[in-house]
Structure 1
């Protein structure tokens, strides 16, 4: 379970205060696959990074039960001068996973081939996303944070990614950011809409998607 208690995040941009998250209080239940919806720039990635512990909220608290993944698809945490395999070893040690087992899984799943042993600085964005997804799927988290990662790659890789994610969902929850409505319907049962810094939680995914569409329509009309 993840509990947000009056969580805010603000940045100063050119001397002005930009409020990205505004006193959010919400509960993300354990074991559920939750869509995190919002327009571009609404703060979805910021919220994921706060949940992962990579960012501190400006105010408020985040209380977490269980182990939460890093934002899968976000490759900024990888050391560019280390190879994919070396980065996998580092993550394995960080989360107490078996290094050899994780590297074997990543090698098989990511389809990076010889690139797995080359510096991450030589990777394309898609290769980094494959590495990030493979490492995360190889570690048993209680909640997976997914940021558009299953949109990367060809149809066969996307199908394989969804299959392994579905297997992990049997014993874990997820918070999923995706612009693909069909994918959201396929893997999520409820949703939360981030709009103008506030978060609205919906127990029904269709209600969440309808709210999200209304937000997008309002933006177009404006």
Structure 2
């Protein structure tokens, strides 16, 4: 479960004030997967980062009673000057996982060979994507956060990603934002529409999509 209690999120830039959430209170239940919708700039990605803990709140608090992932494929938590091996071991220890198991999984999955022993700042974009996705799959979570699903690698590697990802999501909830309505219908049962600082939960993802499409006209 993830509960927002009187959460306010405000950005102030160049004399302008943009409110993403204004004293929002709602609960995202365990056992339910949610799709987050809103027009461009509504704050979908911000909300994902707040749930992950990588984005601060202006006011209020977010309570998590389950193990919540960082956004799928997110690289912001890795230190660029540390090697892939060092990053994998560090993250494993943070989450209380066996460092050797996590390292072995990522090394095998990412297919970057000896580059696991060099700083990740030297990785190509493809290597970084494979390493980041591998790290996301190496540690099991109760809830996975997704800010758009993007393809990683060639067709063969994408098939490997889908195989592992299908196993993970079989026992976990998903909270995602996407501009692809078919993807939202595939992964979500309920929806959250962000608009004008409010977050409204709809028990049917199709109802949320209908509201979003009206807002986006």
TM-score normalised per structure 1:
0.86
Map 1:68-147 to 2 at 5 A: 68-147=68-147
The number of residue pairs the alignment matches comes to: 217
Structure 1 vs Structure 2 CA RMSD: 2.1
Q: How much has 1:110 moved relative to structure 2? A: 2.4
1:93-138 C-alpha deviation (Å, 9 max, x unpaired): 1001111111111122223344333322123445433322221221
CA separation in 2, counterparts of 1:120 and 1:179?
Answer: 30
Pairing 1:48-63 to 2, within 5 Å after superposition: 48-63=48-63
Match of 1:173 in 2: 173
Q: CA 1:149–1:86 in structure 2 vs 1: closer, same or farther (change >3 Å)?
A: farther
Q: Distance in 1 between matches of 2:150 and 2:187?
A: 11
- Checking the alignment, whether the CA contact within 8 Å between 1:36 and 1:194 is kept in structure 2 is yes
TM-aligned CA deviation for residue 7 of structure 1: 0.8
Structure 2 CA distance for partners of 1:203 and 1:115, relative to 1, 3 Å: farther
Deviates more, 1:70-79 or 1:111-120: 111-120
Q: Take 1:185 and 1:83, find their aligned partners in 2: how far apart are those partners?
A: 38
Query: In the alignment, does 2:195 pair up with 1:212?
Result: no
SS in 2 for 1:57: coil
Secondary structure at 1:66's aligned position in 2?
Answer: coil
Contact 2:73 2:136 in 1 (8 A): no
Distance in 1, matches of 2:42 and 2:139, equals 29
User: Could you tell me how far 1:176 is from its partner in structure 2?
Assistant: 1.4
Structure 1 gaps of 5+ residues are 218-222
Q: How far did 1:90 drift?
A: 1.0
Measured in 2, the distance between the counterparts of 1:179 and 1:207 equals 16
> Aligned in 2, Cα 1:123/1:208: closer, same or farther, shift over 3 Å?
farther
Q: Could you tell me which residue of structure 2 aligns to residue 202 of structure 1?
A: 202
Deviation of residue 39 (structure 1)? 2.8
State the partner residue of 1:33.
33
Contact 1:74 1:147 in 2 (8 A): no
Structure 1 position 149, deviation (Å)? 4.2
| Range with greater deviation from structure 2 (73-82 or 95-104) | 73-82
Consecutive unaligned residues of structure 2, counting only runs of 5 or more, are: none
**In structure 2, how many angstroms separate the alpha carbons of the residues matched to 1:157 and 1:214?**
38
- Cα distance in 2 for partners of 1:28, 1:69 equals 15
